[in-house]
Amino acid sequence: MTAAALAPLAGKPRSRWKQPSILPGFPLAMGWTLTYLGLVVVLPLIALVVRPWELGLSVTWSTLTEPRVLAALRLSFGSAFLAALTNVPIGLLVAWTLTRYEFPGRRLIDAFVDLPFALPTAVAGIALTAIYGPNGPLGELFAKIGIKTAYSPVGIYIALLFIGLPFVVRTIQPVLQDLDREVEEAAHTLGATNLQRFWLVVLPAVLPALLSGFSLAFARAVGEYGSVIFIAGNMPMKSEIAPLLIVIKLEQYDYAGAASVGLAMLAISFGGLLAMNGVQLFLARRGRV
């Protein structure tokens, strides 16, 4: 083609779909990604959604509206929400201490944060029961003031606190490490108090990470089973969690009923995570205004 023929095309931007990728192999990588996610994540979820409807809508609805099922769902999601909400300020304090201060044993404490990740959940449940049980050192102290810890919803709350804390700490810690200290120093130079520096400088920077940590801790706590059954007491309508109810229905060969409870947990969890993502998106857009 001549230069005159190419002249009209010189000013036209190239389509972003026509630009070569910096890293080659996108079709192959995308194909493997979709295949893996489809087999490992999507396919089991589809089976969970389809299975409850085998016996009809009326049977599924009657299962989900049973008082025992409603009590188990209310206990699981309520305890998970309260535990995740409690872990947010505690996790922020732990992450702040590990990030901003140098003291003897800091690395050891930092390693202890990951202990709930590595410890088998059944072992964690046995340990918590030994500590907070009626004859345990902390269980006896709480019993003296009229608080029953083990074999009650309080024990479930304690177990969910234990397994959810690392998610909050490890989500916030990198953000605090990368936070520019000069911004805080500038706020201090302008006369801001310590509380104002935290509220106006630090908190807005770590708020997205706080929400992510809350979401991870909540999602982990909702499905927790091993560390809870030992300390919960497992009394129907009182201290029976939804994952345990699913196991009971499976042992009774009520597969459709177990899938119905699982479908309810999936729907509520997905709705909660979707709401949290919406809040994060709103905060991100507000920060760019």
Query: What is residue 217's predicted lDDT score, i.e. its pLDDT?
Result: 93
pLDDT for res 202? 83
Q: Give the tens place of pLDDT for each residue, 122-181.
A: 888 899 999 998 888 898 899 888 888 889 999 999 999 999 999 999 999 999 888 877
Residue 12 pLDDT greater than 70, yes or no: no
Cβ atoms 71, 240 nearer than 8 A: yes
Taking the CA atoms of residue 85, residue 88, residue 93 and residue 99 in that order, the dihedral angle to the nearest 10 degrees is 170
Q: How far apart are the C-alpha atoms of 201 and 205, rounded to whole Å?
A: 7
Confidence check: pLDDT of 8 > 60: no
**Which among 162-166, 233-237, 272-276 has the top mean pLDDT?**
162-166
Domains of the chain: 45-288 (1.10.3720.10)
CA proximity to 74, closest of 222, 176, 200: 222
Angle of CA points 129, 132, 133, to nearest 5°: 65
pLDDT in the model for residue 86: 96
216 in Cβ contact with 170 (< 8 Å)? no
Mean pLDDT of 6-10: 48
Q: First CA to last CA across the chain, in angstroms?
A: 47
The pLDDT value recorded for residue 276 is 83
Share of the chain above pLDDT 90, in %: 29
68-114 pLDDT, tens digit per residue, is 999 999 999 999 999 999 999 999 999 999 998 888 988 999 999 99
Output phi, psi for 223, to 5 deg. Answer: -95, 10
Average confidence (pLDDT) over 268-275: 86
Q: Whose CA is closest to 216, among 155, 160, 175, 264?
A: 160
